[in-house]
Amino acid sequence: MFSFNIFSILMNFTLIDYTAFGLWVLISIFISYVLINRLKFFKGDKNVQKVLTWGLILGHLLYLIWKYIFLKILGN
Domain ranges of the chain: 14-74
pLDDT exceeding 70 applies to what percent of the chain?
Answer: 83
pLDDT digit string (tens) for 24-50? 999 999 999 999 999 988 888 899 999
CA–CA dist 70, 63 (Å, integer): 10
CA–CA dist 66, 38 (Å, integer): 33
Tell me the average pLDDT of the chain.
82
Q: What is the DSSP string of the chain?
A: -----HHHHHHT--HHHHHHHHHHHHHHHHHHHIIIIIS-GGGG-HHHHHHHHHHHHHHHHHHHHHHHHHHHHHT-
